[in-house]
Amino acid sequence: MCKKQLKAFYAISLLAFGAPYLCSGQTNTKGPVNIHHSFAGQTQTIKPIIQSDNKLKSQIDTIVQKATIPFISDTSKVGLSIGIYKNGEVHYYNYGTTQKGKQSLPTNKTVYEIGSISKTFTGTLLAQAVKDKKVKLDDDIRKYLDGNYPNLEYQGKPIKLSHLVSHISGLPFFLPDNPDLFKKPNFDTLPFTISKIQQNYSKQKFFDDLHTVQLDTIPGYKFHYSNAGAQLLKFILEKVYKMPYDKLLSEYITKPLKMQNTNSLYTKNDATLLVKGYNDKGKLMPYNPQILDAAGGIFSTTSDMLQYLKFHLDENNEVVALSHKVTMGEINDYAIGLNWQEQITSKKQKKIWQSGGTFGFSSYCVIYPESKVGIVLLTNESDPGSQHGLEGIAEEIVAQLNNVK
């Protein structure tokens, strides 16, 4: 995939749910640090004080601070939690607040909605199903559907399971398919419209609408971002395992990895840890409806996500290796695994990542298997630039980590 398409991927995935100078700072080993900063020669509206638990005592502390302050200084931003895994050590950093109007610093236990990073969990479960010989990646998806779906092929070529994890199935962005929703949308009201539609949308209605899908090209060739594909994969996994999605997550991912605050059910979240999400105007946004869990509705923390990334750093693990298997593109340029984005960098390192954007949350995670580095960033604000901003923080941190002794 070319760089232009890569940018398009990010732009669409955001819709899926959707440099300053540090002048002074104080460290406080018993509480959050109040960071004061100013912009010499610049006219900008900035927060006069940003709460943080960054103690600024180590090289990594300084690297994270320098990379993070431009992002969190934006007055539209709310809270930000960062987790870093390097050389077997973990580092956590938190900035801002869990709720607008309050001084409540997030922690590594703060629960965020992680958006399309959820799709990597669904892809990992597909890899597990292949390992367990429940399915094959090249299977025609209709093998696992009840009823007749002659519409899910084009010129005799069917949609395969592998197409569902690489956005080349030809399925629409959402089901029900209503492209008019995204023509000149009001982004203050659109999230509530989509949320209402999906909250009243059942599994049966999903399969009824699946009968109406009309493919316009052979599956496996044309990139078209699809949350519906992730939802369909969820239903297939539930069928082959005879187990609901939340139980699959627990059985194969969160329980073995001891991810105590990660789940796909809003009602299972600890209300004292779950933060609210906002848009760039500071308006409270809804969480994703339950039916979108496999596509973008999982909740997690930086502590839990580092457990997940450490798991994915081990490519000797059969499930991990399979979940990173290229299903589209060329890794030397740009490729997609089982819902992971992948690339060989200019420094000849394999980079595997995913970002997420919901109505009120943005997220980004990345691993470098050769150097055993993993980074996750979670924030409770969503706007057109947030995912790129989080990626930029991660890129700057990674670029400097090799200099850390």
Mean pLDDT of 309-319: 98
Structure tokens at 166: 């690489």
Indicate the burial class of 206 (C-beta count within 10 angstroms; 0-12, 13-18, 19 or more).
middle
Mean pLDDT of 385-405: 93
Interval 288-298: pLDDT, tens: 999 999 999 99
| Bigger pLDDT: 347 vs 107 | 107
> What pLDDT is attached to residue 403?
80
Interval 164-209: pLDDT, tens: 999 999 999 999 999 888 888 888 899 999 999 999 999 999 999 9
Please state, in angstroms and rounded to a whole number, the distance separating the CA atoms of residues 153 and 163: 12
- pLDDT for 93 beyond 50: yes
Amino acid letter, 11: A
Interval 97-112: pLDDT, tens: 999 999 999 999 999 9
- pLDDT for 339 beyond 60: yes
Mean pLDDT of 58-85: 97
Residue of 392, 195, 221 whose CA lies nearest to 277: 195
Please state, in angstroms and rounded to a whole number, the distance separating the CA atoms of residues 201 and 203: 7
Reduced to 3 DSSP states, what percent helix, strand and coil does the chain have, rounded to the nearest 5?
A: 35, 20, 45
Determine which helix (DSSP H) or strand (DSSP E) holds 61, and give its type and residue range: helix 59-72
Please state, in angstroms and rounded to a whole number, the distance separating the CA atoms of residues 104 and 377: 18
Do residues 110 and 273 make contact, with C-beta atoms less than 8 angstroms apart? yes
Do residues 117 and 137 make contact, with C-beta atoms less than 8 angstroms apart? no
* C-beta atoms surrounding 176 within 10 Å: 15
> What pLDDT is attached to residue 17?
46
